[in-house]
Structure 1
């Protein structure tokens, strides 16, 4: 049996180029046809018809940035730092810059990233989209993203991460800090479309105040060399809620260490982590932690893994309660498709491959994520293409 790799596979940082020319465009319409396809596979709406704003970062700099709705501010993080005197309330306040070698390098080599703020009471009806794009071999990209949802405000942000079709090897470092004020709501959907030899090291922390809601949707269906991701959300106000939904697929050669943590620090807080993992030969480590430090508080963690070929899925559910009366639960299952499920569908006219494909498609169901119709269509298309690679 193959061994599980160490938690942090070595990335040779000196291999990657963190300096380079800036790329500027007047809008997404200037993206080439080939690059357009890669961005669309990461959930980007090139036409921006159903988007309230757009931020695009290419390699080492902001390429374009725009907003179409009052009360919504989108800036490059460098511009935001200048405008707001260093963003003393938010910049490196949730994430510790000395956490590891990746955060230290990200602090030293800041290329850009988005600053998104929604004003108090504003309900942004159409999603904001951001894209972190790499064009060029062995590019090292370092971004720092900050989202501030002011009191009573709401927004859905769709972030697509991708590499150009010609890129084989690259490194992405992404620091993200989320601040959701009283009664605010952030839905954050991330779609990854990296290359087969790309290493990805995001570091994410969010803080949610009283009555705030944070929902995360994470979709990784395309090949990648390695991902190490473990967002942490602190529910610090009464009645705050956090939900994580993720779908992960690991083809041969891929190593994915992706999990989530929710800390329930106030009464009447609720947390939920739902993970679906499929391996067709790669390795998936899926840690999940819910910690409750106040009562009443409720949390549920669910991780299900499907092994379609030789590969590894290591589900690590963990519950921690520090007060009498917390309600925490988890369920985890890793295995193969049940033969009786296949036989059931075959008895209704499907052949074995069609039956297996139907079951896998249901396993990767994104309906619970509440995605916009156009994005859901795009994700369904990616799932269909992923199925072809699986079988």
Structure 2
């Protein structure tokens, strides 16, 4: 992991006014946001939250069964959120958590009502706009018993050449029988550094499905969320699609701890480097039986770059069932020849294989977000065939 100097970023004085109507945002910024999966003109959402640099500029809910607030207001309203705020993340874990604890800019607090099935997604956006902005975020999500929620979070910078830093803390609480689907799409700049810190806990019969998509250049990203399956029958499933163009350094993965019987853990990653570096990690620890876990890391090297797959399985009791599958390589020539024999030229065959490899259909994303990701894959194909 590269050394990040926090003195390179501005952590004070980058406030912005409230934006009542998000459709009034400039066209260029809308385009950056849509590539991060955020449609500010969308009406089919249950709530919307937007943070720009150091300010929460928009927050509102259209569904009485889901509460969405700026984290600072939630801390005031609920006397510091003693059951949730810094209960899973250690303030002193590293310099980034300490800095966020000492100088919090914002973030969201999302909580469902018990038994509520929130049909439309909550849409959130964490946006870097001012050059050299350092953004400290703390998000808390509470999915109450037997409730269901899908959050789509888009993280983006103002333009491709942007320089800045995003430092986000997230704590997830999935109560008994609850279901959280959390989809994150990143669209950073080539000089942006990113240090998320995430911990979650899933109780009896609960499930956490996490989708992560990063297809644009980022200077340096390091992320390693940890999820504790603490209740019988709890499930965690992580799906990720990562592309590292030249100049990108991505070190990411997932750690799932199975602390109860009949839990299931799965991480599936698809990575492509077109010149950058990807370190793809996965760690499943089985501490109770029966428990089942699987790690799958698949990587393609196109036009240079480096992929390092690091799957780890750790069983601490007899009877756990843990497995992994990892592969890093190139597109098989016989696959290209097979498609060429059916009428495609070499570029078309290569593009077809890449699209299939980066298939995100398993994520169950909203149609509009799925379409935007497919568009980014098409752009990747076009660039590779030039």
How high is the TM-score relative to the length of structure 2?
Answer: 0.98
Once the two structures are TM-superposed, the CA of residue 390 in structure 1 deviates from its matched residue by 2.9
Q: Which residue of 1 aligns with 2:297?
A: 303
How many angstroms apart in 2 are the aligned matches of 1:224 and 1:383? 17
1:240 Cα deviation after fit: 0.3
**Residues 166 and 292 of structure 1, relative CA distance in 2, 3 Å threshold:** closer
SS at the partner of 1:259?
A: strand
SS at structure 1 position matched to 2:377: helix
Q: Which residue of 2 aligns with 1:337?
A: 331
Structure 1 residue 167, shift from structure 2 partner: 5.2
Residue 70 of structure 1 aligns with which residue? 64
Q: 2:188 aligns with which of 190, 194, 198?
A: 194
In 2, Cα distance between equivalents of 1:203 and 1:367: 27
Give the secondary structure class of the aligned counterpart of 1:99: coil
Residue 19 of structure 1, CA deviation: 0.9
Q: What runs of 5+ residues in structure 2 fail to find an aligned partner?
A: none
- For residues 167-210 of structure 1, give each alpha carbon's deviation from its aligned partner in whole angstroms, at most 9, with x where no partner exists: 52100000000000000000000000000010000000000000
Q: Does 1:205 align with 2:202?
A: no
Instruction: Give how far 1:166 is off.
Output: 6.8
Report the secondary structure of 2:217's partner residue.
Answer: coil
Whole-Å separation in 2 of the counterparts to 1:84 and 1:206: 20
1:300 counterpart SS class: strand
Contact 1:361 1:383 in 2 (8 A): yes
Whether 2:239 is the aligned partner of 1:251: answer: no
Counting only pairs closer than 5 Å after superposition, residues 1-391 of structure 1 correspond to structure 2 as 8-23=1-16, 24-165=18-159, 168-391=162-385
The structural deviation recorded for 1:387 is: 2.3
CA distance in 2, matches of 1:298, 1:21: 47
For these two proteins, the number of residue pairs brought into alignment is 384
Question: How many Å apart are 1:27 and its aligned residue?
Answer: 2.6
Q: CA deviation at 1:140?
A: 0.4
The whole-number CA distance in structure 2 between the counterparts of 1:65 and 1:390 is: 40
Q: Distance in 2 between matches of 1:125 and 1:230?
A: 29
TM-score, scaled relative to structure 1: 0.97
Q: Does the Cα contact within 8 Å between 2:14 and 2:133 map onto a contact in 1?
A: no
Aligned to 1:3: none
Secondary structure at the counterpart of residue 196 of structure 2: strand
Bigger mean CA offset, 22-31 vs 304-313: 22-31
- SS for the counterpart of 1:44 is coil
Q: What are the Cα deviations for residues 241-272 of structure 1, in whole angstroms up to 9, with x where unaligned? A: 00000000001111000100111100000000
2:30–2:39 contact (8 Å) kept in structure 1: no
